[in-house]
Amino acid sequence: MAKKRIEFMITAFRDGFQSVYGARVLTKDFLPAVEAAVEAGLTHFEAGGGARFQSLYFYCNEDAFEMMDAFRRTAGPDANLQTLARGINVVGLESQSSDIIELHAELFKKHGITTIRNFDALNDVDNLDYSGRCIVNAGLRHEICVTMMGMPPGSREAHTPEFYMTVLRNILDAGIPFDSVCFKDASGTATPGTVHDTIAQARRMLPPGTPLRFHTHETAGTSITCYRAALEAGADALDLSMAPVSGGTGQPDVAVMWHALRGTEYDLGIDIDKVLKAEEVLKECMQDYFLPPEAIRVEPMIPFSPMPGGAYTANTQMMRDNKILARFPEVIAAMKDVVALGGFGTSVTPVSQFYFQQAFNNVMFGPWERIAEGYGKMVLGYFGRTPVPPDPKIVELAAEQLGLEPTGRSPREINDEDPSKGVGAAKRLLKEAAVPITDENIFIAATCRDKGIAFLRGEAKLNIRKITPSEKCETIALDRKASPPGGPAGTGRPDGTQRRKAAYRVTVADRTYAILIDGRTITVDGTTYGIEVHGQGVEQRAQNGSSHTATGTRQTGGGSRHTGAGRTRSARSYAAAAAHHVNHEGEIAITAPMPGAIIRINVQPGDVVEGGAVLIALEAMKMETEITAPVGATVSSVEVSPHDTVSAGQTLLWLDRA
């Protein structure tokens, strides 16, 4: 008997990169693997969209449209290149107006895309309607999605086969045009039984011959079992990846799935030797990239706090960047309540990021002390209807903190009335920045805002994680004892003994700091200072050419930006000042409440500000935090520059009340 051919899409170059490297991969580094995959006979590739749009501007200093063009040239004219869209959010966390949603489809068609997979994290069909019609009108194939998520034991709040069938019925009743249907489990938490029952009922409900796909991740360890359940229930297409971006937080490997189907009635139709050869090319392409350990393992907590694979490493990478990765388990644990009280929207971007941001705030600032803007707008209805009503107390908190009333209106209609959104607003941003006005630049400005403008002005910074040669060869551990004679140059003392590093955790005024002392440098929460030893004390002096001082002095060009001459403090007094915000001279140190990146500085030395005035805008975990003046004062110095990365407690500027 002939075997049933299972169609599959290779997700390595979009979801794989997002799930393993936080979407931070340079185009030139992976194109040889695309070429090898084509030579192996693979024809359907996920090529962009989702986080792989914004990440190119945020971290890679590359243009996503140029990446799509290069992908098409490499894959050839006949390949099915597919991207991911988030309904009316298209490729960002923020929902968009009608003209930007339409422009998204037109531009992706222009830049070589064949198919767009379109989903809404809340399963609000109204959000899929207009966006889906734009995709079809642009001449693209439309793969419409129902998003899935497993529920903690004992919970039956939405996310059942019956709930998913209601969503699918609403799609059919709305008359939304589509070419195929995908059931998308981004967190990999749906149980095999739920997958089987959902796919079986969908197959009966859909018109005969409708292509039906299932998508999951290996994060919870059940992906192959769920794929088998989907096939047995009537699915005819799957998503598969390639090593080293398969398994773990990614999709199952194509070779693993091929093996799992041996001896069954199903067949992937591949030449396994050629596919394995292509995987070796991809491994070689990625060999210099930092592979987060959490990306290659199963996480048993995920079914209880559903974090999608595509967001898992993106968030751990951001926490690594900000040197607070040790708090990640607390944040994941806090997600359970955040999901339940927020209305059980599917944990997939952007909602998964809203969940993470709120859980992050609950851990860093105290439970529900600070409502994340995205989460707050979601529970208030500004992204559509949640599967079940959010907790009334959380809705009340969000309304109070954000200054917004709950709404039942269409988010797209609200956006169409918002003068800060749409093509016109993007054109104004481009004009103010002296950037050429093109369709591509309009879309970049609308979806990436300040970071998109920074890229277009040539001000973006590269922020990807590659393994340096020294890291590849690093074998020295903290507190390693004497080095043998002839040890590594530059690591030992004249007497042949090994220079020792010492790591401590120091608590001052209820704030804990991570301290690493290494020779004549001291690192406090990730910021490194040079030190001089005088008698029995440790003191840092501000000198021209120093990379940092304890007061926040920073080299820019050939000298120091420090404007408070003579302000010298010990490492201990710096920590105390960071906690108390006041130095011995009565000046107020404005410090970072959390690690992040400086995106705007609204003041300069000499400015007189009122209490509550916004001094600096800081971005952390894809959230913007405004740093305000606690009292009226004069700005005496600014210790940071736009795009600087800062650590929690680091001094940003000084105010003088005199």
Domain assignment of residue 397, yes or no: yes
More confident residue, 555 or 647: 647
Domain assignment of residue 438, yes or no: no
CA distance 260 to 275: 16
Question: By C-alpha distance, which of 21, 37, 510, 564 is closest to 293?
Answer: 21
pLDDT band at 491 (very low <50, low <70, confident <90, very high): very low
CA distance 590 to 580: 10
Q: What is the mean pLDDT of the chain?
A: 84
pLDDT band at 532 (very low <50, low <70, confident <90, very high): low
**Helical H runs in 261-350?**
272-285, 309-321, 328-341
Q: List, for residues 497-521, the tens digit of each pLDDT value.
A: 444 455 555 665 455 556 666 655 6
- Residue 526: what pLDDT? 54
Domain assignment of residue 428, yes or no: no
Domain assignment of residue 470, yes or no: no
Pair 167, 18 in one domain: yes
CB 28 within 8 A of CB 66: no
Q: List, for residues 135-165, the tens digit of each pLDDT value.
A: 999 999 999 999 999 987 777 778 999 999 9
Pair 143, 30 in one domain: yes
CA distance 79 to 42: 8
Final residue of a structural domain among 379, 414, 449: 414
* Across 317-326, 402-411, 424-433, least confident range: 317-326
pLDDT at residue 486 greater than cutoff 50: no
Domain assignment of residue 374, yes or no: yes
Pair 490, 584 in one domain: yes
Instruction: Work out the average pLDDT over 120-141.
Output: 97
- Residue 153: what pLDDT? 73
pLDDT at residue 552 greater than cutoff 70: no
More confident residue, 339 or 480: 339
Pair 229, 105 in one domain: yes
- The helix/strand/coil state of 479 is coil
Pair 305, 166 in one domain: yes
* CATH, residue 97: 3.20.20.70
- The helix/strand/coil state of 502 is strand
- Residue 650: what pLDDT? 87
More confident residue, 620 or 430: 430
Q: Which domain holds residue 598?
A: 475-656
Which residue has 């992040």 as its token pair?
A: 596
Domain assignment of residue 143, yes or no: yes
Q: List, for residues 291-310, the tens digit of each pLDDT value.
A: 888 888 888 888 888 887 77
pLDDT at residue 571 greater than cutoff 60: no
Pair 99, 236 in one domain: yes
* Across 192-196, 353-357, 388-392, 468-472, least confident range: 468-472
CA distance 143 to 585: 64
More confident residue, 553 or 362: 362
Pair 263, 403 in one domain: yes
- Residue 61: what pLDDT? 97
Q: List, for residues 323-363, the tens digit of each pLDDT value.
A: 788 888 899 889 989 999 999 999 888 898 899 999 999 99
Q: Which residues contact 410 (CB under 8 A, 6 or more apart)?
A: 126
Maximum average pLDDT range among 96-110, 330-344, 601-615, 621-635: 96-110
pLDDT at residue 596 greater than cutoff 90: no
Pair 20, 96 in one domain: yes
Pair 146, 267 in one domain: yes
Pair 358, 481 in one domain: no
Final residue of a structural domain among 392, 414, 436: 414
Q: How many domains does the chain contain in total? A: 2
Q: List, for residues 283-296, the tens digit of each pLDDT value.
A: 999 999 998 888 88
Domain assignment of residue 462, yes or no: no
Domain assignment of residue 19, yes or no: yes
CA distance 346 to 150: 9
Q: Write the DSSP symbol of residue 188.
A: S
Helices 272-285 and 27-39: crossing angle in degrees, nearest 10, is 170
- Residue 362: what pLDDT? 95
Final residue of a structural domain among 369, 389, 414: 414
- Residue 538: what pLDDT? 34
Q: Which residues contact 422 (CB under 8 A, 6 or more apart)?
A: 96, 97, 98, 99, 100, 415, 416, 446
CB 394 within 8 A of CB 368: yes
pLDDT band at 487 (very low <50, low <70, confident <90, very high): very low
Instruction: Work out the average pLDDT over 396-401.
Output: 96
Pair 403, 514 in one domain: no
CB 531 within 8 A of CB 538: yes
pLDDT at residue 479 greater than cutoff 60: no
Q: How would you classify residue 566: left for phi > 0, otherwise alpha for psi between -120 and 50, otherwise beta? A: left
- Cβ atoms < 10 Å from Cβ of 624: 14
Question: By C-alpha distance, which of 350, 317, 449, 345 is closest to 50?
Answer: 350
CB 270 within 8 A of CB 258: yes
* Across 2-6, 99-103, 126-130, 475-479, least confident range: 475-479
What six digits make up the tokens of 625?
């935090």
∠ CA 28-34-35, nearest 5°, is 100
* CATH, residue 502: 2.40.50.100
- Residue 165: what pLDDT? 98
Pair 401, 492 in one domain: no
